[in-house]
Structure 1
């Protein structure tokens, strides 16, 4: 009875099968058994046939067991290899831990981006109603004084940028950052002049010292919009009057006690739909500017 050995299993080339040895050794043994029995001894030849059949059956069984064990070992090795690869992939793809400080910075940046996006959306909206009427009135008022609006970006720094622009015309270079810093310092050193005019929007109570301190910190460190209190502080700092031209009201002059030439701003209620906005002005015709003292 011939013994067939399957070679179809996906094992590595060059690795000997344990069953190869079994087949070879078993075949030698069978051949030896056949040679030991004379051909004319029928009784012993019949017994030999039975013995050979049993031996071949044992060999086939042992061979199948060895092949199954090899397949199981190979499968387990593949599973372990996949598990290791998955584990390494998970470790490689893990995001680095983000610090609390970075999270605060990211949140602040996201809020600032959102605010700028709202401003940009408002700028492209069709505000031909109130905005158009206000712009027409302001153009008429300014033209009577040989002036026109000089657009300032609506980024939260508009009032300070308008002051900065006016100071450049008088050859007094002060940056927005410097104007904000000096404004906050002046207000903190003259609390009694400003604190009574600031109230908590939730409670209606006058600001506490802590709230006032935060208000001043925001002037320096954020894009908080400036208003009449900050204009008052700036007029004292620069010792210069600041005139605010409006569409529906007479101009307001802050710091009129100072004899210097006024800085001129344009206040617009409907420019962007997100609250007040300040622009600067420029001359319709060429005129020599005066140096600030």
Structure 2
């Protein structure tokens, strides 16, 4: 069923009314023509009949053409309207253009997802392997000190997160970002203490000052993993010893020259298939309960 708009109905109604008016006017004209010809003048009466028929035919043809033209114009308008609607619909359904920044964010999210998937796979593989053995040893070592592991995410920030967690126990407001920033600043201002311990993995040569600068920039701006050098810098920054407990070696303490109670981290060599990992520690439940009572 074809739907006709109100505007189309108005135009057609106006045309029909005009046609009616014109027909009435023509009938009045014809009547006047008839009155002007005597009834006994057969010749003129015959011509009158032909003229009337011609006038009526011309008007009927004219009205028919005007009506058809109106319908044709309405259809063309409808096609144009539909074309505009279809065009708008195509534009609405067309996917928005993705900016370069969004593409970078999408790539970063994809890489992080892939890393998490690889970590999950590695966890399954190590469930009864080296990771399990290492975990059992660490649990025994920590239990002897009434401690247990406090897990932190393995996202490249684990060492800094473990330090942050230890500092929270001492009501320190330092965040991972702040710890990274201060570590880089300290290492850059004491380059001679750290540069000899960094070598180019491709050449085996000691880092150049430019390479060392890039190394420090990565500490601040990326999820670069922290290690022994960063722990040494943090011990000086915090003026606090940092003890690292391991499964197969005696604990390592950096910053022993400072008299404060050490921060305690757990170093796990086999925690994940992607590399080393640091966790924090907390008191065992029974020890924590005693401290609260």
TM-score calculated relative to the size of structure 1: 0.74
Shift of 1:278: 0.8
1:45-124 aligned within 5 A: 45-79=45-79, 81=81, 103=101, 107-108=104-105, 111=108, 114-115=111-112, 118-119=115-116, 122-123=119-120
Distance (whole Å) between structure 2 residues aligned to residue 211 and residue 15 of structure 1: 86
Deviates more, 1:20-29 or 1:60-69: 20-29
Cross-structure match for 1:39: 39
Shift of 1:10: 4.5
Cross-structure match for 1:128: 127
* Unaligned runs of at least 5 residues, structure 1: 1-8
Shift of 1:134: 1.7
Shift of 1:237: 2.0
Q: Does 1:282 align with 2:282?
A: yes
1:19–1:67 contact (8 Å) kept in structure 2: no
2:146–2:287 contact (8 Å) kept in structure 1: no
Distance (whole Å) between structure 2 residues aligned to residue 261 and residue 93 of structure 1: 63
Cross-structure match for 2:165: 165
Cross-structure match for 1:5: none
Higher helix share: 2
The size of the alignment, in residue pairs, is 278
Residues 231, 145 of structure 1: CA spacing in aligned structure 2 closer, same or farther, 3 A cutoff? same
* Unaligned runs of at least 5 residues, structure 2: 1-6
1:188–1:216 contact (8 Å) kept in structure 2: yes
Distance (whole Å) between structure 2 residues aligned to residue 109 and residue 185 of structure 1: 31
Distance (whole Å) between structure 1 residues aligned to residue 77 and residue 158 of structure 2: 69
Residues 167, 65 of structure 1: CA spacing in aligned structure 2 closer, same or farther, 3 A cutoff? closer
SS in 2 for 1:226: coil
Distance (whole Å) between structure 1 residues aligned to residue 211 and residue 21 of structure 2: 91
CA RMSD of the aligned region, Å? 3.8
C-alpha distance after superposition, 1:146-197 (max 9, x if no partner) = 3321222334322122223333445655433332222111101011222343
TM-score calculated relative to the size of structure 2: 0.74
